[in-house]
Structure 1
């Protein structure tokens, strides 16, 4: 149990300065138009990190739209390919989401999220430590 708490504490400390900042308020456009939602991020990660966009309709859970990472790997959910796109700008630390050919069904709450990669290294196998603590 002690070892797990240590991992949890390190993870929280490593991520303390990692965050996303989204513009607030409503975006209004006409059907068929194009809209861009802004998101800036800050991370202390020196390895890979991932940025995500999610959509949440009323009374539903957030739904995955797309992911971009530091090494320019990209993934977009099949139902959002074509009209939804985001380009990660590592210099400006932004990942704006652009929705083309806006439809009424696109009216929702959009979330930008960041997941840094944190490496925790142990000098001995984790299982061995857990086994010793249980005795």
Structure 2
């Protein structure tokens, strides 16, 4: 997987970065998946987001995490989809995997007034 970041502000100088490890995660039904996402930011109040994109579909919002909030989309309940914002990472955990969980997952970062889009493209 390859990821690019675009900044909506002309002040963006590369201080903000989101990274996901390359390659596929292959597991079987019922297992727990941990999808890693690390980030760097100069913001003291970063917001991290996870999205799921199925084939021929748009990205669906799963959850957002910040220092002061933890919100999930109603479609992705916390007992199966969860993430903990740590110092510089926000790994997504998917418990009790179902076949329909097969998709591309990606994270995004928003900090202060700057908004970032993380875009998936095949290698």
Normalised by the shorter chain, which TM-score bucket? 0.7 to 0.9
Residue aligning to 2:94: 99
More helix as a share of residues:
1
Cross-structure match for 1:32? 30
Structure 2 Cα separation of the partners of residues 15 and 42 of structure 1: 13
1:78 Cα deviation after fit: 1.1
Quote how far apart the aligned CAs of 1:114 are. Answer: 0.1
Between Structure 1 and Structure 2, whose CA radius of gyration is higher? 1
- How big is the shift at 1:16? 2.6
TM-score (norm 1): 0.73
Counterpart pick for 1:79 among 75, 81, 94: 75
Q: Which runs of 5+ in 1 are unaligned?
A: 1-8, 120-135
The superposition leaves residues 89-125 of structure 1 with CA deviations (integer Å, 9 ceiling, x where unpaired) of 02xx000000000010000000110001138xxxxxx
Unaligned 5+ segments in structure 2 are: 1-6, 115-123
- Residue aligning to 1:18: 16
Matched, 1:44 2:42: yes
User: What is the root-mean-square deviation of aligned Cα atoms in Å?
Assistant: 1.9
More strand by share: 2
TM normalised by structure 2 equals 0.80
